Structure formats: C-alpha cells, structure tokens
Amino acid sequence: MEQEKTISPDHDDLYKKETHCQSCGRFVGIYTRCPYCLALTQKRLSIRVFKVIAVLVSTVGLILLLFFARTVKTPEVKIAELGPLSNFAHVRVVGEVEQSYGIHPQWGSLGFVVKQSNEASENTIRISAYSKVAKEIDANNMVPKKGDIVSVEGQVRFQKDTPSLLMNASEHIAFIKRAPEIQEAQTKTVEPNQVSIEMAGQTINTTGSVVSTKVFDGKGVIVNIDDGKGSFPVWVPDFCREDKSIINPGDLIEATGLLKIFKGKLELEVNKKGSFKVVSKVSVSDSTEDE
C-alpha cells in the first residue's frame, strides 16, 4: 500500500493565508485582528515572536543610547587643529585662561580667552556665553579668572580664519585648577599731571577740569581733562554714567578706572557704575564770559 504523500502548501497560498483575513478575504498585513470585520487572523508563531523581539531590541537600544549620551565625554581637541571644516562642531577644549572679561554689565554676556602652549607655538581661542547661560554661570560662581585651568565644551564658530567657541549650557565649563586668589589692587588717587606710563595697568582715581568731550551715541563719551600740559582722555561707557546730562567744557569731573594704553597713548577707562561723576558744573555766566 502506497504511503500517502504530504503536500506542502504553495508559497503564494501561505503568503495569502498569513496576510489576508480568513473571514472577509481582505489584506490585513501583520494585524492579528482584521480592521474591517474584526475577525481574528491566524499568524505563525515566528511572526509573533519577531514582533516581541523587535520591541525589546528597540527598547534596549534606546536605553543604551541614553546611557552613552550621558556618560561619554565630548572629544577633546587642540586649538591648532580647529579649521573651517570644524565649523559648528561640538568639541571640548582644555587650557589656561589667558584673559577674562567677566560678565558684561550692560549685555549680560560672558567672555574669556583660553590658551594652549607647547614648545613650538601658543594658540588661543575666545569663549563666549550669552543670556541665560551666562547668568547661570555667574550665579554658580563659575566665572573663570586669569590663570584658571578649565575644560570648556561648546560649538565651534569659525570666522575670518579665527575659531571661537560658544557655550550653550552652564554645565559645560569645569575647573581643573583654580588660580591663586589675588588681592584687588588698591585705588591710587593722583592728579592728571601726575599720570605716567609706569602706572599703566593700575586702578587710579583722578579729578580734573573738562577741556572737551566727544560723544559716541549708544556707547559712551570721551572726556578730555586738563593735565597741565594739554588734555588727558577719560573713556566713560554709557552704563557707567548715572547722570546722562551734557558735560560741558569747564565742568569738574571725578573718575575712577583702569589706566590703559590705547593706540599708543594713556587713557583712563571707567569700568564700573558710579565710578564717574560731575563734581561741579560750569555756570552759564562763566561760559558766556569765556566766549
């Protein structure tokens, strides 16, 4: 007696059985319940297992992605390696703070310069932070000072062959080593005719009679005072002036600020609010007599 032959279903028939509703005959794909007649459809065990595995694998993948995003450090780069192709890249720079501008009193921005030195060269990059980020760094007492060794993350901005770095989160700055605390230099009171090149870099206080002024709209005013030989310039930003009235020749002013060399000449730069005031104003009659 011949053995009965097992006839396997044709591939097309199997595909139709797996993807079409056995009740209404419409295409249902991977659905286990027909969206048309709501009848249950038969599926192979392998398809059901594959669906479960796919969900598990994707969940594990997201967890691993979150883990690496929180634990893997941003790659550290050398300033000399940054070029036009690095524009908008998120990188980390480690170096010494060469110059710190602190928080700008008017704009609320933060700025400082980081340098990396080796035997062959010295490279610098300007770091900036604005608005909310700068305020958070200031509130957390994380504003870097000259001499600090810092690690900074940010987005590279490459303009005119010069790279800069923009911080977009307050936690993207960390201190590796703090510079020793330096006592703030005492303010020295001098007469305008006593100011000399040796005093550059010192904070001084001086009082003098106004010779002339030059106003820069929206920025500040240069007040030239009599130093006995000619005129000595005092730069007063608008945010440092509490009294915005016109300063006239003959007015007596008092100013406290940093003595700097600007374009080869000494200039007193007022850098704090309340450090500049008009002690006395020339009267209208005096001004008329002078004319």
Q: Is the pLDDT of residue 118 over 90?
A: no
CATH number at residue 216: 2.40.50.140
For 215-241, write each residue's pLDDT tens digit. 988 788 999 998 777 788 999 988 888
The reported pTM is: 0.51
Is 5 domain-assigned? no
Is 182 domain-assigned? no
Residue 288 confidence class, pLDDT cut points 50, 70, 90: very low
Same-domain pairing of 150 and 88? yes
Our count of domains for the chain comes to 3
Is 35 domain-assigned? yes
Same-domain pairing of 99 and 193? no
Alpha-carbon distances, residue 119 vs 1, 97, 116, 122, 253 (angstroms) = 97, 18, 11, 8, 49
* Domain boundary, last residue among 149, 177, 205: 177
* Domain boundary, last residue among 158, 177, 196: 177
Is 183 domain-assigned? no
**Higher-pLDDT residue of 68, 192:** 192
Which bin fits 70, alpha (ψ -120 to 50), beta or left (φ > 0)?
alpha
Cα–Cα distance for residue pair 48/25, rounded to 1 Å: 21
Is 197 domain-assigned? yes
> The domain containing residue 145 runs over which residues?
79-177
Predicted local distance difference test score (pLDDT) of residue 242 = 81
Same-domain pairing of 195 and 286? yes
Same-domain pairing of 126 and 217? no
Is 153 domain-assigned? yes
Q: Is the pLDDT of residue 54 over 80?
A: yes
Cα–Cα distance for residue pair 113/176, rounded to 1 Å: 16
Residue 182 confidence class, pLDDT cut points 50, 70, 90: low
* Domain boundary, last residue among 109, 143, 177: 177
